[in-house]
Chain A
Amino acid sequence: METESNFLNIKDVSTAFKIDGQFYDAISHINLQVQHDEILAIVGESGCGKSTLATTIMGLHDPAETKISGEIDFEGTDLLKLDDNGYNQFRGAKIGMIFQDPLSALNPLKRIEDQISEVMDYHTSLTKAEKHTRVLELLDEVGIVNPKRTAHQFPHELSGGMRQRVVIAIAIACKPDLIIADEPTTALDVTIQAQILDVLRAIQNENHAGIILITHDLGVVAETADRVAVMYAGQIVEQGSAEQIFNSPEHPYTRSLLRSMPQRDNEADDLYVIKGNVPSLQKMPATGDRFAPRIPWVPESAHEAEPVMHEIAPGHEVRCTCYKTFQFPDEKKGDVTV
């Protein structure tokens, strides 16, 4: 996947959090690339490290409580080598982030206009009047019906969907090359979800930004993503184009996720449930396939001792060799259930 259009290159990045004086990896050895004009979806259960990856790229972790290693090459700069001031040149300007919960992501005491223009205060030399025009333009762009009125309002006067639009407006105000959207639609109802995704796509068409879309909603992924990375317990277990992931998923975790998705032509009455939980940080196994405990019927010999990524098709990588023989217990040999 090393092509020249990759403007974001995440190389071997691990982030560890301090718990009771010891550091535990929340994400380990992540390798990812993002190109312009592409939407990379990161999927996985809660607690598998998706948001940690996002906040690591944004540099939002308290350095006293976290240990980050690896390299995040953003247009030739290693973000992880920057100090806070250096990072501030990127945050908001070249990287915009959309947060999960629009209800709490805005300062309750500031008018919408001030919250949007704040990002321009630090990254542009626009005059006050120009900023005002730009705010109205942005609000219009994200689909706010009456920008003038909304600009003057406070967050509590807006609906959830409108607030999420405002959060998006903040993220895109300085036309960033990279937009990280951390579950932008989770807190919203389905009709608003679709509208928000449309807004994101429209912005991308205009700015040619690369988007990292973090979600656990496979429906959203299927609708929007160009490429997909599946994360489990802090690792990427499979990545490939959206087509590859949806049409020929290989890793047992990916297949389990897809199988647990409600489908119209699903013959079974009950949805598939992946047994067990994502292990907590302290209980993360140091070696072996981290997903193995949740597919106990697979013999240990099928797993690699130190699972690595295997490229099985151009751009399609899978961790561990267990995918070769993996079957669900109720599945007949050669039967493909997707």
Chain B
Amino acid sequence: MWKTILRRVMIMVPEVIILSILVFLLAKAMPGDPFTGSINPKADPAQIKHLMAINGLNDPWYQQYWNWVVHLFHGNLGNSYQYQEPVTRLIAGRAGNTLWLAFFSMILTYALALPMGVFAGRHEGKLPDVVIRFYTYVTYCIPFFVILVLGIWIFGYVLGWFPTTGSVSSDAQGWVQTVGSHFYHILLPGILGALFSTVNIVQYLRSEVIDAKHSDYVRTARSKGVPSKDIYRHHIFRNSLLPIAAFAGYSITGLLNGSIFTETVFSYPGMGLLFVNSISYRDYTVITALVLIFGLLNLLGTLLSDIILSIVDPRIRIE
């Protein structure tokens, strides 16, 4: 087991190196520079050139990359051009917000999707299945940001149940109120995110349950005289949860991608919003740092998936 994981981690090393080069080059390939427009529009082009030079932006790419990597190992991701503040501090201040929202959304997703998927599969073709399927198709057809905007409009504006911007209310005082306010702020984006990300899991799980229901091993179980309830418990559930468990790692990626939409629409100060802002300001240091973090989390997600799968599926276990 540990050997498998270790080997899997070793494979990640070249992946990370390639990822970092790609990330760096892509950010550099964007047109524009971090200074034009951010200082006085009438600024002398020579002055901008000078700024570019002292920031090392005119060096060949491999040298810039090398400098970046060396700094990276010292925990220094550079300064944000836009905020004039170390990138590490900038991100650290927002990572918590994003992770809380993603975590809440993920728990809610599985809490909703697992029962729905199993229920729909079990009662295939009957009313609950039709209702759940209708819900998944409708949600699937609407773009995510439209769901977010609709959600804000209905629950935030018309009904006024939830706050529509920010991550904490400014007049929250004391520990309890602050945490409460934080939670209150992630409720609506978390729920909307979960509603959207349940769709894939529900549909996948539903078809897995239906497949398992008609599988030969379930027929064998029936021929043993196992009551239907126990067949679901011992044979169908576990077997159909297998692919879902395997996707759990990947779903981290999905949530982070989703955070870009959610945080932008909700003006929620997390990594997603920071990312979008940095792109419009050509804030290279922040962009590369964020893409690198997202990329790393992505790799960790796949690693997690592989580990989960090797735990739950004996066929994948490596002795």
The contact of B217 among A90, A106, A156, by CB within 8 Å, is A106
**B221 CB, min distance to chain A CBs, angstroms:** 7
Which residues on A sit within 8 Å (CB–CB) of B220?
97, 99, 105-107, 115, 167, 170
Contact of A91 among B223, B234, B312 (CB under 8 A): B223
A60 within 8 A of B: yes
List B contacts of A119 (CB < 8 A): 224-226
B225 and A89 within 8 A (CB) = yes
Question: A58 vs B235: C-alpha distance in the bound complex, in angstroms?
Answer: 19
- The answer to whether B216 touches A108 (Cβ under 8 A) is no
- Looking across the interface, which residue of chain A has its beta carbon closest to that of B218? A107
**Chain B positions 14 through 55: 1 when the CB is less than 8 Å from some CB of chain A, otherwise 0:** 000000000000000000000000000000000000000000
The residues of A with any CB-CB pair to B shorter than 8 Å are: 58, 60, 84-85, 87-93, 96-97, 99, 101, 104-109, 115, 118-119, 122-123, 154, 156, 167, 170-171
B244 to chain A, nearest CB (A): 14
Chain A CB within 8 A of B178 CB: no
B200 adjacent to chain A (CB < 8 Å): no
* Shortest distance between the CB of A135 and any CB in chain B (Å): 14
For the complex of A and B, list the 4 residue pairs with the smallest distance between their C-beta atoms, beginning with the closest: A92-B225, A91-B225, A104-B216, A92-B224
Q: Which residues of chain A are within 8 angstroms of B312 by Cβ–Cβ distance?
A: 109
Q: Contact between B226 and A99 (Cβ–Cβ < 8 Å)?
A: no
A54 — nearest CB in chain B belongs to which residue? B223
Out of B224, B235, B238, name the residue touching A170 (CB < 8 Å).
B224
Q: Does B239 contact A (CB under 8 A)?
A: yes
- Interface class of chain A by DSSP: mixed
Q: Which residues of B contact A90 (CB under 8 A)?
A: 225
Residues of A within 8 A of B215 (CB): 104
B-side binding surface: helix, strand, loop or mixed? helix
Proximity bits, B204-228, A CB within 8 Å = 1, else 0: 0000000000011101111111111
Contact with A along B159-197 (1 / 0, CB 8 A): 000000000000000000000000000000000000000
List chain B residues, Cβ under 8 A from A118.
Answer: 221, 224, 226, 234
Task: Give the CA-CA distance A188 to B127 in the complex, in Å.
Answer: 43
Q: From A173, which residue of chain B is reached at the shortest CB distance?
A: B224
Contact A154 B225 (CB under 8 A): no
Q: Which residue of B lies closest to A102 (CB)?
A: B216
B219, B238, B315: the one within 8 Å of A156 (CB)? B315
In the assembled complex, the Cα of A92 lies from the Cα of B220 at a distance in Å of 9
Residues of B with C-beta under 8 A to A60: 219, 222-223
Taking CB atoms, residues of chain A closer than 8 Å to B235 are: 107
Residue contacts A-B, CB under 8 angstroms, 8 given: A90-B225, A93-B225, A97-B223, A107-B239, A108-B217, A108-B314, A109-B314, A171-B223
For B216, what are the chain A residues with a Cβ–Cβ distance below 8 Å?
99, 101, 104-105
Separation of A107 and B231 alpha carbons in the complex (Å): 11
Residue in B219, B227, B239, B242 whose beta carbon sits within 8 Å of that of A105 in the complex: B219
Query: Given known contacts A106-B217, A107-B235, A108-B217, is B224 in contact with A154 (CB within 8 Å)?
Result: no
For the complex, is B313 an interface residue (Cβ under 8 Å from A)?
yes
- Closest Cβ of chain A to B18, distance in Å, is 34
Residues of B within 8 A of A87 (CB): 225
Please, how many angstroms separate the alpha-carbon atoms of A20 and B89 in the complex? 65
Other A-B contacts than A88-B227, A118-B224, A119-B224, 7 sampled, CB-CB below 8 A, are A92-B224, A99-B220, A101-B216, A107-B239, A109-B242, A118-B221, A119-B225
Question: Measured between C-beta atoms, what is the minimum distance from A177 to chain B in Å?
Answer: 14
B314 touches A122 (CB 8 A): no
Of the candidates A58, A85, A109, the one having the most CB atoms from chain B within 10 angstroms of its own CB is A109
Q: Are B228 and A84 in contact (CB under 8 A)?
A: yes
CB B282 to nearest CB in A, in angstroms, measures 52
B315 CB contacts on chain A under 8 angstroms: 108, 154, 156
- In the bound assembly, the distance between CA atoms of A51 and B223 in angstroms comes to 14
Which residues of chain A come closer than 8 Å to B225, judged between CB atoms? 87-93, 119, 122-123
Chain B residues whose C-beta falls within 8 Å of the C-beta of A85 in the assembled complex: 227
Q: Name the residue among A90, A101, A105, A106 with the largest chain B CB count within 10 angstroms.
A: A105
Q: How far is the CA of A106 from the CA of B221 in the complex (A)?
A: 9
A99 in contact with B219 (CB, 8 Å):
yes
Q: Are A109 and B238 in contact (CB under 8 A)?
A: yes
With both beta carbons as reference points, the residue of chain B lying nearest to A123 in the complex is identified as B225
Q: Which of A84, A89, A92, A154 contacts B314 (CB 8 A)?
A: A154
Distance A226 CA – B313 CA, assembled complex (angstroms)? 44
**Contacts of B217 on A, CB cut-off 8 Å?**
104-108
* Chain A residue with Cβ nearest B217: A107
Name which of B217, B219, B220, B225 has the most chain A CB atoms within 10 A of its CB.
B225
Q: How far is the CB of A266 from chain B (nearest CB, A)?
A: 37
Q: Which residue of A lies closest to B220 (CB)?
A: A105
A60 to B215 alpha-carbon distance, docked (Å): 12
CA distance A89 to B227 in the complex (A): 10
Asked if A58 and B226 sit within 8 Å, CB to CB, the answer is no
Q: What are the residues of chain B within 8 A of A123 when measuring CB–CB?
A: 225
Tell me which of B215, B220, B226, B228 has the highest count of chain A C-beta atoms within 10 A of its own C-beta: B220
Q: Contact flags (1/0) for B285-315 with A, using CB distance below 8 Å? A: 0000000000000000000000000001111
Shortest distance from the beta carbon of A324 to any chain B beta carbon, whole Å? 42
Q: Min CB distance, A246 to chain B, in Å?
A: 31
**Minimum CB distance partner of A180 in chain B:** B223
Q: With A and B bound together, what is the CA distance between A83 and B239 in angstroms?
A: 27
